[in-house]
Structures are given as C-alpha cells and as structure tokens.
Chain A
Amino acid sequence: KVTGVGVGVGVNASHPLTLEELNVVEQVRVKVNDAESTVAVEFTPTIPHCSMATLIGLSIKVKLIRSLPERFKVDVHITPGTHASEHAVNKQLADKERVAAALENSHLLEVVNQCLSARS
C-alpha cells in the first residue's frame, strides 16, 4: 500500500535530475512489506567511486523516515556490488545513532534538506 510514496529525492540544484531519473533508485529495488512494517531500498550509486553515496543514502533514509508511519523499519543500502566501499556505507546507514548524530550536524542537515526541497 505504501509503494506509491516514491523516493523523490533530488541530488542538488546544480544536478537537476532526480535520483529516479538517474536510475539510482528504481522501483524494482524497493521492497515494501506493509504487514510486517518494513521497507527496504537498494540504491545504485552512479559510479563505483561516487563520493556522494553516503549522502544519497542518508537523504533517502531521512525522506523515508519523515514520510512513513512510525511503525515502519527503514533499511537503506547499496545494491550489492555497485560501490567500492559498499560495506562501510551500509554500516554507516544502518547505525541509528550515527544517522541521528549526522542530522544534529547542522551543515549536514542543511545539505540533506537541500536535497529534499530541491524539487518543490
């Protein structure tokens, strides 16, 4: 039922394409289980050394947390085999405390918010 939310995250104003348009996020790589309240999103960085991977992941995660009912457990990770430091990024994204800490950093929050508001 929630698949329609969509992950409308723009990278930034100078990069006018959305993640969906860049094929970073694809509908087939989004798994939603309403009954068990879980959402899993796999995203594919544009190049294996993409320096923005963590930021993209964080933005997706923040967007989902803000947009989904609290009952959902959100899991955001890199499509296996598509990024050089896949493991490290995944670990960072899965760590609740690090995500929370990142959002307390006003600089990082600013960048994330820019990503989320670019399209509107």
Chain B
Amino acid sequence: MPAGDPSRAGLCHRPPSFWVCSGCISCSSVPAHKRPFGFPSWLARSCLENTDPRTRGRGIQLLSQVLLQCYSLLQEKEVLHLVLFYENRLQDHHLVIPSVLQGLRALSMCEVLAPGLAVSVLKAIFQEVHVQSLLQLDRHTVYSIITNFMGTREEELKSLGADFTFGFIQVMDGEKDPRNLLVAFQIVRDLIVKNYALGPFVEELFEVTSCYFPIDFTPPPNDPHGIQREDLILSLRAVLASTPQFAEFLLPLLIEKMDSDLQSAKLDSLQTLAACCAIYRQKELQEFLPSLWSSLRREVFQTASEKVEAECLAALHALSACLSRSVLSSDTEDLLDSFLSSVLQDCRHHLCEPDMKLVWPSAKLLQAAAGASLRTCHRITRSVVPLLLEQYTKHPQSSQRRTILEMLLGFLELQQKWGHVEEDESALLSLRAPVCSVVFSAMTDPSVQLQLVGIRVLTVLGSLQGFLSPPDLELVVDHLLRLILHEEDSQSSEAAMEAAGSLAPIYPQIFSGRMVPRLGEELQSEREEEGSRAPRSLQQRCLQALAAVSTHTSIVRETIPVLLQHLRRVQKGSEAGNAQDVVSVCQSLHRVALQCQQDAESCWYYHQTVVPCLLAMAVQAAMQESTHPLQGKALLEEEALAAMVPVISAASTHLSPELAAQSVSHVVPLFLDGEVSFLPQNSFPCSFQPFEGGERLEAQRRLVALLMAFVCSLPRNVVIPQQERLLRELLALSCSCNCPFTATTAAKCFAGLVNKHPAGQQLDEILQLAVNRMEPGLAEGPHRTQALTLLLWVTKALVLRYHPLSSRLTDKLLGLLGDAELGPVAADGFSLLMADSPDVLHKGCHADVRIMFRQRFFTDNVPKLVQGFHGAGPDVKANYLKGLSHVLNHLPKPVLVTELPTLLSLLLEALSCSDRVVQLSTLSCLQPLLLEAPQIMSLHVDTLVTKFLSLASSPTMLLPYKARVIRALAKPLDDKKRLVRKEAVAARGEWFLLGSPGR
C-alpha cells in the first residue's frame, strides 16, 4: 500500500478493518506510544507527530471523532493500544487535551475494556489534567468519563479505595457551571450511596459540595439548557442528605442558614434538614438538638411567612419521627423524651393565653411533634390535653373557649391517626368525663362558632373506637337532636346533621334506636296540631336529618319507611303548596339513594322499597284524577314529578344486571299493559293506561316521567322487555301529546333508550320510523314544537354515540335556524345538545357518551353555522349566532383558545347582536381569549374596545364582567409590542371607570 495515499485509508467505507494494520513499512517507523494501533501511518506521520500542537490536536480530534462513532466495534486489543496512546497524549500540549479527553470518553464506553484500564485512565486524568482550568465542555467530558466508568466498572474503581474519592474531589473543586454541577452532584451521590470508600476525605467531600449551599442561581433569560434553580437545589440536597457521615458538618451549616435573611435559604435549610432526618439516627442529632429546636421555635414564633412556618413544622415533624425511630439501647439516654420535654416546656405555657399571639404557633409546634409517631403523640397529648381542659374551664369567654377547643381538636385528630391502641387509650380514657363535659358545654353555648367546633370535636371523639361509653353516646345523640331540631342557626344544625351522618355507621344501633324514632315523631306530631302549624322549617330539618343519618344499612331500613310514610301523609293532605312538601321528601329520598349506591344490599333494599311505593302512589293519584278531576293532586304536579325522577334514577343506576332485569320485568308491563299486581296496595278503581288516548288520561300520561327515570338509568346490558313496542308508544306520545311536559318527557325517554340501543337493523328501523313521524310534524300542523323537541333529543342521543344518522338530523336542525317560527327555539336547542343533561343521557345513567363528542360536533358543524349565518336573512341571523355561541360556550377551554381566532370576526359581530343571551355568551367566550391569546387579540383590540364601549351603553349589563376584564387586561399591559400595551392601557382605564363615580 502506497504510504500517504488518502484514498486507501478507507475512512468511510470500512471503519473496522481500518484498525487492522497491514504491517506496512511506515508503521514501524513511528514509535508505538505515539501512534495508536492500526492508525494509518501516513496520517500518523502528518498529524500525530507534527510539531505544531494545533495540527496534532486536529489529528487526535479526527481520531476521537471516529472512535465516538464506532467504539462499540473495537476489539479488546485495539482498545488496549488506544488507551495507552491516549494516556500518553494526556501529557501533550494543552491545546491537544480536549480532543484527547473526547477519545477517552469514547473508550470509556467500550464494553471490551480490559480490567485495570479504567483505573489507569482515571489515574492518568487525575495526575495529568488540571480539570478546572479546562473549558466547560471539556470538564463535562471528564465527568462523563467518570460516570461511564462508575456505571460499568464499579468493583474496579472501588479497588482504588479512597484515592478515587480524593481524585474526584480535586476534579470538581471549584466547578461553577450549573450543567456540570448537576453531573458532579450525581457522581458524589453515587460515591456515597454505592459505598465507595471515602476514607479520610469525608470532610473534604462535604466541603467541595456544601460550598454551593444554599443554591443561589437564577437561570439567564432565554437559557437554552433549561436548568432551573430547583434542579440544582434538589440534586445538591440529594448529596447532602445522603449520608449520616456528613451530619457533624452539615447540621451547624443548616442551623446557621436558618438564621439567614434570605427566605429561600431558610426554606432550603429546613427542607434539607427534613430530608436528612429520614436517614439520621439519634447519634448524629444528639449534639445539635438544642440549637435545632431553638432555631425552629424562633422561626415559627417570629415568621410572617406561611411557607417558612409550614417547612419548620415539617422539619420538626421529621426530627421527632427520626428520634422516635431510633432503637434505644439500655445505657443511652432517651433523647426523644428530653427533646419533647424541651418542646413542651417552651410551648405549653403559651397555650394558657388564648388571646396572645403565640398560642397558635405553640399549638402547631406541639402538633407537628405529636404527629410524628405513636410515642410522641402519647407523650404530648398526655401533657397537653389535661392542660387544655383546665384552661377551657378557666376561660369563660366564647372566643377564648373556641381557640382552646380548636387546639384540642387538633390533638384529638392526631390521636385518630394512630387509631386503636390499648396502652394509648388508657391515657385518654381517664380524661373521658372532662373531655365529654367540655364538648357538651361547647354544644350548648350560645355562640355558633363554638358550637361548630364542639360538633367537630365530637365527630373525632366518636371515631376513636371505644372512647365514648353508651351513656355518653345517648347524650351525644340528644345533643345532636337538639341542635338539629331547635338550634336557630342553620349552620349549626347542618353541621350536627353531618356529624350524625358520620357517626351513624360507627354506632348504628344507637342512631336507629334513638335518633330516627325521635325524628319520625317530630314529623308526625307536627301534623296532629294542624291548627297551629309548626314552621315548615322544622319539618324540613327532620327530613334532612333523616337523610343525613342514613349512612348505614340498618339505619336505612328505619328511615325509608318513615320518609315514605310521610310522603303518603303529604299526598293525602289537601292544602295548597304541598307540592313543595313532596319535593322536600323527594330530596331527602334522593340523598339516601346516593348514600346507598355503593352498598349492594342497601341499594337493592332501597330500590325494592322505594320504587314500587312511589309508582303506586303516583298511579293511584293519577287514577283518582281520572275519576275526580277537580281534586288537585300534589303528587302529579310537574314540580313533584320532576323531583321524583332523580330518586328513581339514583335507585336504579347501581343495580346489578340481574336485579335490574327482575325489576324491569315489572315496571315495563305496568306502563304498557296496566299490570299493577306488583305494586303495594294494588286495588285501583280503574285500569292504568298511560299510552291510551283520551282527555281523562292526561294525568296518567304524565307518569311517563317515572318510566323515563327508571328505564333510562339501567345499565346498558339490561334487556328491556317489549322494547320495540315501548319505543313506538313513546314516539307516538311525544309527537301527538298537547301537554309540553308529557311530550318532552316522552321524547327524552325515547332518546335515552335509543342512545343505549345496540346498533343494527332494529335500531335503524326505529330511527327511520322516528324520522318519518318528525318530518311531517316539523313541516306543519299543531305539533311543530313537539316535533322539534323530539328532533333535538334524538339528535343529542345520536351525537353522543357518534351514530351516522346524527349528521343528517343536525343538518335538519341547522335548516330550522332559518325558520321564522321555530328558529329561536332551534338555536337554544344547541345548548341542549352540548350541555350535560341532568336526568337522562349522561355518563351516570350509563348512556353511551363518546369523550370528544363536543369537539367533533364543533368541527363538523361550525363551518355550516358560519356559512348559514352569511347566507341568512337579517331577521334570522341572530339565530345562527346564538347557536354558535352555545356550541363555543360548552367547548373545553384549551380547544376554544386554539379554534377561536378563526371565528373572531364573527364573534365581534355577535357582540353587536341585540339578543342579550348572545351578548353574554359571546363575552364569556372572549374572556379566556383575552387571557391566553393576547397576540391574536391585540390585532382586534381596536374593534373590541369600540364594541365593548357600545355595549357599555347599558353599563349594568357589563358590570358583572368588570373585575374579570380588568384582571384579564393586566396581562397585555406587559406585552412585547408597544401598540398592544397602548391599547390595553386605554381599555383597562375605561373599564376601571365603568360604573365608578366621577365618570
């Protein structure tokens, strides 16, 4: 091979063979230590031996670049030669060193590196290179070499012993670049965590890292590396808190920095202390406990910053937890005990001054320590709780008592955390009588605030198992009952109900035996003295309390009959306005239903008891109405029926499919065939035929609402008997009924069933039937509105499940926007399509709802809306805008912000539309845009301001937006563009003046 012929070098074509020296003459002429194995001699002579260090550097750079590409293909022997070569080159001119390091980095990634070479490379680097005088990138290369070796040759490096540690200390000493520091900290952490020998260099290692503490680093603007201050803080903390060996150096540093004026330094110190406590033992902490405690105490007592306070408390918690964890050997002092003694000594007396500033800081410190472990909790409550009880009696003022009771609550809540432990309880158990008397006194205090705290304490006490004795519990129930029924302030009575609700599952017997009967009597007694009617509010409270306390199966079995009994009485009553009473009972029943849903047994009991009973009452009322139409029936008013819907729905959604099937086999025949046999008290004067025609059956038809509540809530896999027939009946009813309530309900029921109907020919047929009925209905005749309602609901049902027919129906709806009579209703219908409906067609009742249906509807239909708007006559344009703003209003905000700019001009037009609904919903659409896309909005600021100002001619309408707009406009004040800032200033100034005096 002719020496010096570059074309023979084959750099690009055959890199591996490039390293196999063919034994050319020239090779032997260059000494091996100056020429790597296989390096082409022509190149070696021209570059590597060149006397100019720059040229040598370029040669080595070339070699290193090649190595970085193909290090994985090298043979062990080749690597050996290359390593020897590179090590030797470390002594070369400083201009060459960066390239040498690159080469070594490539070699450090070789898997075939022979044992001993890693150590020799590192030794050479430690010895020959003064790392901190290199550039940032080259220092980074050194760290990478070390990291690579630590990753693959841990054992080998460990054989170096503490020399490795010392070498590294020298490498990183003085490092300033945050990118390098992140790597260096990681290396130190690995040194410690992977048990490299630190030898006598613990303090040096600590010094070389702790000198950066606390981190004070602000990333330069437009920093491309994205290193945040927080990254450095966390990575340094991981080093400092990695070993107890640092404790003797670190703890004094932390104590010093806690005293710093810089809040960030304080926070960092406190967080680092908390992190250290996770691995320290009492040995490391012992010496510093007094100063740590005094620093923490000082900070909590003096600071105005909630953040510092929270971190101090967290640190104290961690300290106490650390001391609690240490296993005691018999001859050492129990540090925890003496530590807690000093905490108690410094804080306890402040608890006696509920009006003073230090009372809460002291309580928080004590609670932070007490929350650390069972032992600390025990020790502190044993000392503090009796003191608080004593102070409660000493201070007669309600406000002071409230403070004391709130502190007591905090300590008892901690007790709750440790649950049921015998030894622990005896301490608190001995205080049972005074604790109870304090709580009861608070609950009878005239101050509502004190009552509220009393109720919360009571709830906690009740959850401490075995704390309250049976006589106490009876008193508890009596107190709660008194507050529920007779306390004037609704806050207290509501809190008492909630407390009853959370205690009831723990003590079901006492609540079902003592509270439920009393509430039932209260409901009844009120009825008997009809003449002097007790305030309706009392009745309301009984109903609410009955619902609130129904949190356990056995109690539900007591409360449901009481509620149903009451409903029957209300229905028999003849006074006006008792539809409202029906609604109240239904609200309570609904709450119970929700509480029962999770428990299969209660759920079935509830369903079996409540649903037939409600149906029976409604059917009976409807039949009486048919025979004696003049007697008004509260139960049949729309309001009452609407309140029964959620009850039946909640009772049915969580049924298991088998039980649901059982129930559906009764309910559907009831409505289709008048099959009443499953109803309680089923002797009715005439037959139940809700789907039959005829004036007198109007009342019966309304009960379709109850059918809807039931069938539309069933799980999708429950087969509904005679579904086709049912659907046809519903369809007929919805198109032909004169009563809007009945027609709408029938349409919703139809839609609810269609949404869950499995796809296939049957569904297509029934949908075709619906379209056939709707189309002529929409075109003309007395039932246009009904047909539109049906169209809306069916469209919604299909849009939700992405049914192909949905687009055809939506187009029909879009067409109706141009209709003079139905246009406005159709426009409002878009809100119905996009919003969640409360009773049918939502996830909770197992409807088929695709998650992106709103976005999809937006993409499919908004262009059509826009097009329709442009083509529409002036009298119907508003309908399109209204439809559009309904669609936009329900779109998720992030989507809205990306999509709106294209629609902006249309929206600006909408602002001048005279319809208030359109104006309001457009303003709500624009608001997020102003906040999040000032760049786009800035182009239109001029128009916007004018439009807003013309809207402002009715300032009362804009006033609700004032604060929001002013807040939103604060952001563009700081925009990059002067024009934007100028307009924002003008707009914001105007908004400030809106509705203010002196305009």
- B interface, by DSSP: helix, strand, loop or mixed? helix
Interface bits B970-984 vs A (CB < 8 Å: 1, else 0): 110110001001100
Besides A4-B978, A110-B996, A113-B999, 5 other A-B contacts (C-beta < 8 A): A68-B973, A69-B970, A70-B970, A71-B974, A109-B997
Which B residues are in CB contact (< 8 Å) with A116? Answer: 989, 992-993
Question: Which of B985, B996, B997 is close to A5, meaning CB atoms less than 8 Å apart?
Answer: B985
Question: Which of B971, B981, B989 is close to A66, meaning CB atoms less than 8 Å apart?
Answer: B989
User: What residue in chain A is nearest B221 (Cβ atoms)?
Assistant: A35
Whether a CB of chain A sits under 8 angstroms from the CB of B89 is: no
A sample of 10 inter-chain contacts (CB < 8 A) reads A4-B982, A5-B981, A68-B973, A70-B970, A111-B998, A113-B998, A113-B999, A114-B998, A117-B999, A120-B990
Which A residues are in CB contact (< 8 Å) with B998? Answer: 109-114, 117
Interface bits A93-120 vs B (CB < 8 Å: 1, else 0): 0000000000000110111111011001
Whether a CB of chain B sits under 8 angstroms from the CB of A67 is: yes
Which A residues are in CB contact (< 8 Å) with B978? Answer: 1, 4
Whether a CB of chain A sits under 8 angstroms from the CB of B654 is: no
Which B residues are in CB contact (< 8 Å) with A69? Answer: 970-971, 973-974
Also in contact, A66 and B997, with CB within 8 A (given A4-B982, A5-B981): no
Q: 7 nearest interchain CB pairs? A: A110-B998, A113-B998, A69-B974, A110-B997, A67-B985, A114-B998, A69-B973
Question: Which of A63, A67, A68, A109 is close to B996, meaning CB atoms less than 8 Å apart?
Answer: A109
Which A residues are in CB contact (< 8 Å) with B974? Answer: 69, 71
- Tell me the minimal C-beta distance from B260 to chain A in angstroms: 22
Residues of chain B at interface, number, CB under 8 A: 17
- Tell me the minimal C-beta distance from B707 to chain A in angstroms: 57
Whether a CB of chain A sits under 8 angstroms from the CB of B886 is: no
- Tell me the minimal C-beta distance from B765 to chain A in angstroms: 63
Which B residues are in CB contact (< 8 Å) with A117? Answer: 993, 998-999
- Tell me the minimal C-beta distance from B311 to chain A in angstroms: 26
Which A residues are in CB contact (< 8 Å) with B982? Answer: 4
Also in contact, A113 and B996, with CB within 8 A (given A67-B973, A69-B974): yes
Whether a CB of chain A sits under 8 angstroms from the CB of B988 is: yes
User: What residue in chain B is nearest A65 (Cβ atoms)?
Assistant: B992
- Tell me the minimal C-beta distance from A13 to chain B in angstroms: 11
A111 to B997, CA, bound (A): 8
Interface bits B720-759 vs A (CB < 8 Å: 1, else 0): 0000000000000000000000000000000000000000
User: What residue in chain A is nearest B970 (Cβ atoms)?
Assistant: A70
Asked if A67 and B997 make an inter-chain contact with CB atoms under 8 angstroms apart, the answer reads: no
Interface bits B952-994 vs A (CB < 8 Å: 1, else 0): 0000000000000000001101100010011001001110110
Asked if B997 and A113 make an inter-chain contact with CB atoms under 8 angstroms apart, the answer reads: yes
Question: Which of A63, A68, A106, A120 is close to B997, meaning CB atoms less than 8 Å apart?
Answer: A106
Asked if B993 and A113 make an inter-chain contact with CB atoms under 8 angstroms apart, the answer reads: yes
Which B residues are in CB contact (< 8 Å) with A112? Answer: 998
Asked if B993 and A67 make an inter-chain contact with CB atoms under 8 angstroms apart, the answer reads: no
Residues of chain A at interface, number, CB under 8 A: 22
Which B residues are in CB contact (< 8 Å) with A107? Answer: 997
A30 to B357, CA, bound (A): 43
- Tell me the minimal C-beta distance from B614 to chain A in angstroms: 55
User: What residue in chain A is nearest B971 (Cβ atoms)?
Assistant: A69
Asked if A67 and B970 make an inter-chain contact with CB atoms under 8 angstroms apart, the answer reads: no
Interface bits B440-465 vs A (CB < 8 Å: 1, else 0): 00000000000000000000000000
Which B residues are in CB contact (< 8 Å) with A110? Answer: 996-998
Interfacial residues of chain A within 1-16, with CB under 8 A of chain B in the complex: 1-2, 4-5
A3 to B827, CA, bound (A): 49
Asked if A66 and B996 make an inter-chain contact with CB atoms under 8 angstroms apart, the answer reads: no
Which B residues are in CB contact (< 8 Å) with A70? Answer: 970
Which B residues are in CB contact (< 8 Å) with A71? Answer: 974
A4 to B981, CA, bound (A): 9
Interfacial residues of chain A within 46-73, with CB under 8 A of chain B in the complex: 63, 66-71
- Tell me the minimal C-beta distance from B968 to chain A in angstroms: 13
Also in contact, A67 and B988, with CB within 8 A (given A4-B978, A116-B993): yes
A2 to B973, CA, bound (A): 10
A109 to B990, CA, bound (A): 14
- Tell me the minimal C-beta distance from B942 to chain A in angstroms: 15
- Tell me the minimal C-beta distance from B991 to chain A in angstroms: 9
A120 to B993, CA, bound (A): 12
User: What residue in chain B is nearest A110 (Cβ atoms)?
Assistant: B998
Interface bits B100-132 vs A (CB < 8 Å: 1, else 0): 000000000000000000000000000000000
A45 to B978, CA, bound (A): 30
A92 to B491, CA, bound (A): 43
Which A residues are in CB contact (< 8 Å) with B985? Answer: 5, 66-67
Interfacial residues of chain B within 556-571, with CB under 8 A of chain A in the complex: none
Interface bits B526-564 vs A (CB < 8 Å: 1, else 0): 000000000000000000000000000000000000000
Question: Which of A5, A66, A114 is close to B992, meaning CB atoms less than 8 Å apart?
Answer: A66
Which B residues are in CB contact (< 8 Å) with A63? Answer: 989
Which A residues are in CB contact (< 8 Å) with B973? Answer: 67-69
- Tell me the minimal C-beta distance from B522 to chain A in angstroms: 48
- Tell me the minimal C-beta distance from A72 to chain B in angstroms: 9
Which A residues are in CB contact (< 8 Å) with B992? Answer: 66, 113, 116
Which B residues are in CB contact (< 8 Å) with A120? Answer: 989-990
Which A residues are in CB contact (< 8 Å) with B970? Answer: 69-70
A119 to B982, CA, bound (A): 16
User: What residue in chain B is nearest A70 (Cβ atoms)?
Assistant: B970
A63 to B989, CA, bound (A): 8
User: What residue in chain B is nearest A106 (Cβ atoms)?
Assistant: B997
A87 to B999, CA, bound (A): 31
Which A residues are in CB contact (< 8 Å) with B988? Answer: 66-67
User: What residue in chain B is nearest A103 (Cβ atoms)?
Assistant: B996
User: What residue in chain B is nearest A5 (Cβ atoms)?
Assistant: B985
Interface bits A3-35 vs B (CB < 8 Å: 1, else 0): 011000000000000000000000000000000
- Tell me the minimal C-beta distance from A60 to chain B in angstroms: 14
A120 to B985, CA, bound (A): 13
- Tell me the minimal C-beta distance from B221 to chain A in angstroms: 10
- Tell me the minimal C-beta distance from B952 to chain A in angstroms: 13
Which B residues are in CB contact (< 8 Å) with A68? Answer: 973
A120 to B997, CA, bound (A): 16
User: What residue in chain B is nearest A117 (Cβ atoms)?
Assistant: B993
A116 to B985, CA, bound (A): 12
Which of B974, B998, B999 is most buried by chain A, counting CB atoms within 10 A of its CB? B998
Which B residues are in CB contact (< 8 Å) with A109? Answer: 996-998
Which B residues are in CB contact (< 8 Å) with A113? Answer: 992-993, 996-999
Which A residues are in CB contact (< 8 Å) with B971? Answer: 69
User: What residue in chain A is nearest B973 (Cβ atoms)?
Assistant: A69
